[in-house]
């Protein structure tokens, strides 16, 4: 991949990362609830899911997935149901314990947050569709496939890590204003509702070449 092509891919990666989506909502939610440091486990999971999508799309499996209505529907329904489940769980979280000063809410094991992030990205059919459409535009037959995928993966993950931490940090900065039980309840319902809305929207995602 030459430098000009890489710059174009870098710009595309930035646009993908900053665009609102389930990963951004989850990063903000965990940043607000647990603080940036503990939200890093969530963001790690998001990156692992993103890497899986990149490998699937780059290896051509994504094209096969989009060609199979059954396989695509399974991924779509699984992703939609998972996001709705995560959103509903947060909606029902209630008041939690009111925060004191800059103290974050109990976050539980980091592996749970990491798994939540991974499944959020890995089961997102919109990510697969986008990567299958975008990656070929920056790839060439004159260079090894896996070398190009490695460069793209490193670029995409680096950009996404910075952006997701930015979302988490921005949300975490609001924790001083979200210390009361009422504020925590509102936060849970807002982010829970957003995650459920994103999940519901996945039911309407169509395969390439189809229209909603």
Domain that holds residue 164: 36-93+106-202
Of 54, 39, 20, 193, the closest CA to residue 116 belongs to 39
Is residue 29 situated within a structural domain?
no
pLDDT at 84: 83
pLDDT at 53: 86
Q: From residue 189, how far is each of 30, 33, 193, 206 by CA, in Å?
A: 13, 12, 6, 28
Measured CA to CA, the distance from residue 63 to residue 165 in angstroms comes to 31
Contact 171/28 with Cβ under 8 angstroms? yes
pLDDT at 101: 45
Is residue 212 situated within a structural domain?
no
Tens of pLDDT along the chain (212 residues)? 778 888 888 988 888 788 778 888 899 889 888 889 999 999 999 999 999 888 877 776 555 555 667 766 777 787 678 778 877 877 776 554 444 444 555 567 889 999 999 998 888 777 777 777 677 777 776 777 778 888 888 999 999 999 999 999 988 887 766 665 666 677 777 777 877 887 787 677 665 544 44
With tokens 């670029």, the residue in question is 155
Is residue 27 situated within a structural domain?
no
Is residue 21 situated within a structural domain?
no
Is residue 4 situated within a structural domain?
no
Is residue 156 situated within a structural domain?
yes
Measured CA to CA, the distance from residue 92 to residue 97 in angstroms comes to 14
Measured CA to CA, the distance from residue 143 to residue 125 in angstroms comes to 28
Q: What total number of domains does the chain contain?
A: 1
Is residue 6 situated within a structural domain?
no
Of 26, 15, 14, the closest CA to residue 198 belongs to 26
pLDDT at 147: 83
pLDDT at 115: 94
Is residue 154 situated within a structural domain?
yes
pLDDT at 160: 94
Alpha-carbon torsion (1, 5, 131, 199), positive or negative: positive
């Amino acid at each position: 991949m030459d430098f000009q092509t890489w710059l174009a891919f870098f710009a595309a990666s930035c646009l993908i990362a900053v665009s609102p989506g389930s990963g951004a909502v989850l990063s903000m939610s965990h940043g607000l609830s647990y603080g940036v440091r503990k939200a890093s486990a969530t963001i790690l999971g998001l990156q692992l899911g993103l890497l899986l999508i990149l490998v699937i799309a780059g290896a051509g499996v994504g094209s096969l997935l989009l060609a199979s209505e059954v396989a695509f529907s399974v991924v779509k329904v699984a992703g939609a149901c998972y996001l709705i489940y995560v959103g509903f769980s947060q909606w029902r979280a209630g008041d939690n314990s009111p925060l004191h000063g800059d103290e974050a809410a109990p976050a539980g094991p980091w592996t749970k947050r990491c798994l939540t992030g991974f499944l959020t990205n890995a089961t997102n059919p919109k990510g697969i569709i986008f990567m299958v459409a975008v990656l070929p535009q920056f790839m060439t037959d004159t260079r090894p496939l896996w070398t190009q995928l490695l460069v793209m993966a490193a670029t995409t993950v680096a950009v996404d890590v910075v952006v997701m931490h930015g979302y988490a940090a921005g949300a975490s900065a609001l924790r001083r204003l979200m210390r009361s039980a009422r504020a925590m309840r509102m936060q849970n319902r807002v982010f829970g509702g957003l995650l459920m809305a994103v999940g519901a929207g996945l039911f309407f995602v169509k395969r390439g070449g189809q229209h909603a």
